[in-house]
Structure formats: structure tokens, C-alpha cells
């Protein structure tokens, strides 16, 4: 069964450093997403991406965050200057159609900011 | 801001019995509801969904019921199996303004006891 692959599975970074979280969506999918889950809290939407541009973003997704699909297969989330409160599990997801059939999520990257 | 609420953080059920997981929502603009299942160290996996124009959807052992007037949905698992032990997330889509982001509840941890 096709999978969404995320790397690394765990990233530890110092506060103020830039991090890039990587995702390889399912190859024929057209819509791409990032969600995050802070420990003990709910999964929250960050951003959706379609046709090489952001189609929707939440208020969490401020200027510190950016997304890119640099080479047609990878989909990345960059956090420019990490803060302690960015520590969370970050999930990438992709879908063939726009959302209602359910996304396929990756296993997540646990980001720890120290 | 808890537009989707899962008020039971955990539930224990004997193998073979029915598991009922509940979810309430406040936003009447939601038009599609989904249940996701999550095992540790994995991403959420789509389980079953229901459109707001229906009141029931069934898929094998899983049935989702929607009561729009009460803004309540439930997931029934019959019969429950030990492999069903996981965290179950209720999610909703649609805000009347074309948003396709998933709004999640906090999850209910189901333990099926052999």
C-alpha cells in the first residue's frame, strides 16, 4: 500500500536554529498538508499546498514557517528560527482529491527544541 | 477553541463487546466528519467518514452515527478486537467558506481487553 514517508523520525534542535522537515507524499497525489500535535493536545492544521502554492493556512503558520515542493517528489516544512513551543509531532499528509475522502498521513517527525 | 470535542480521554472494553466512541461539535457549518485511528509511532489512519446529509455509515465492524440536531457523532466497533486498541480521533471538515482543513478532537484511547 502506498505510503507517505517522513524523515527524520526525530529531530532535536537548539532554540533559534532553522529546521527542515521532509516528506515524500504518495506519487500521484495532488494535495499536500502539514499538521502538528503538541504533546497532550489535539492534532492541528498548519498548511495545505496545491499546484505549487499554499491553498490554505492556519494562524499557527506564521512567517517563521514555509513550505516547498522543490523537486516534484519531496514536500518540506521549514521553521526559520525555532522556539521551545515548536516542539511537537509534525505530520505530513497527502490526498488525491481535496480532502473529503481522507488523507494519508505519514508517521510523523518528532521535533524537540531545546 | 474546541470546535470538535471528545470528552472521554480513554475507554476500556472487553474483546467481543461493542466499543462506542463519542464526539461532539459546535460548528454547524461542518459538512463532513471522519474518524481516524492512530497507533503509537504512526500517523493517523483514515477509518470511516460520514457526510452531514446522512445519519449512518457502515463499513464492516465500524459504524458511524450522526445526530445533526444534537451536533453529536459516534463510532461503534462491533465486535471489538485487541487490534482495535489505539487512539481514535474524530475530525470535521467544512466551514462554509470553502475550507478543507481537518479540525480534530483530542482523541480517545481505546483499550480492548482480551
Nearest-Cα distance to chain B for A106, in Å, is: 5
Q: Which residue has the higher pLDDT, B41 or A69?
A: A69
Measure A12 CA to nearest chain B CA, in Å. 17
pLDDT at B47 over 90: yes
* DSSP-H helix ranges across chain B: none
The mean pLDDT of chain A is 93
- When CB atoms are compared, the residue of A35, A44, A107 closest to B42 is A107
At B10 the pLDDT is 97
**Beta partners for A67?**
A77
SS3 labels along A79-109: ECCCCHHHCEEEEEEEECCCCCCCCEECCCE
Please give the share of chain A, as a percent, with pLDDT higher than 90. 84
Which are the contacts of B1, defined by CB distance < 8 A and separation ≥ 6? Answer: none
What is the pLDDT, as a whole number, of residue A98?
A: 76
Give the model's pLDDT for residue B105. Answer: 95
77-96 of B, contacting A, C-beta below 8 A: 89, 91, 93
- Interface contacts (A, B; CB < 8 Å): 57
The cell numbers describing A92, all together, are 505530513
**Cα–Cα dist A10/B27, whole Å:** 35
Instruction: Judge whether A85 and A79 are in contact, CB under 8 Å.
Output: no
A5, A6, A42, best to mutate vs chain B, most B CBs in 10 Å: A42
Could you tell me which of B86, B85, B79 has the C-alpha nearest to residue B113? B85
Question: Residue A41, CB half-sphere, CA atoms under 13 Å: how many?
Answer: 17
Amino acid at each position: 500500500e502506498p505510503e507517505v514517508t517522513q524523515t527524520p523520525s526525530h529531530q532535536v534542535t537548539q532554540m533559534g536554529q532553522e529546521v527542515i522537515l521532509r516528506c515524500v507524499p504518495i506519487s500521484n497525489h495532488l494535495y499536500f498538508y502539514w499538521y502538528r500535535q503538541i504533546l497532550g493536545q489535539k492534532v492541528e492544521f498548519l498548511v495545505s499546498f496545491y499546484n505549487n502554492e499554499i491553498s490554505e493556512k492556519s494562524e499557527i503558520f506564521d512567517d517563521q514557517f514555509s513550505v516547498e515542493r522543490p523537486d516534484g517528489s519531496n514536500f518540506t516544512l521549514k521553521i526559520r528560527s525555532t522556539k521551545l513551543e515548536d516542539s511537537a509531532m509534525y505530520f505530513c499528509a497527502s490526498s488525491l482529491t481535496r480532502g473529503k475522502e481522507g488523507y494519508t498521513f505519514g508517521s510523523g517527525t518528532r521535533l524537540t527544541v531545546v | 477553541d474546541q470546535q470538535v470535542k471528545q470528552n472521554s480521554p480513554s475507554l476500556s472494553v472487553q474483546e467481543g463487546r461493542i466499543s462506542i466512541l463519542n464526539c461532539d461539535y459546535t460548528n454547524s457549518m461542518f459538512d463532513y466528519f471522519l474518524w481516524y485511528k492512530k497507533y503509537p509511532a504512526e500517523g493517523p489512519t483514515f477509518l470511516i467518514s460520514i457526510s452531514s446529509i446522512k445519519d449512518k455509515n457502515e463499513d464492516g465492524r465500524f459504524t458511524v452515527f450522526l445526530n445533526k440536531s444534537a451536533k453529536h457523532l459516534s463510532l461503534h466497533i462491533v465486535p471489538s478486537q485487541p487490534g482495535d486498541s489505539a487512539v481514535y480521533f474524530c475530525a470535521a471538515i467544512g466551514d462554509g467558506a470553502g475550507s478543507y482543513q481537518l479540525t480534530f478532537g483530542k482523541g480517545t484511547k481505546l483499550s480492548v481487553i482480551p
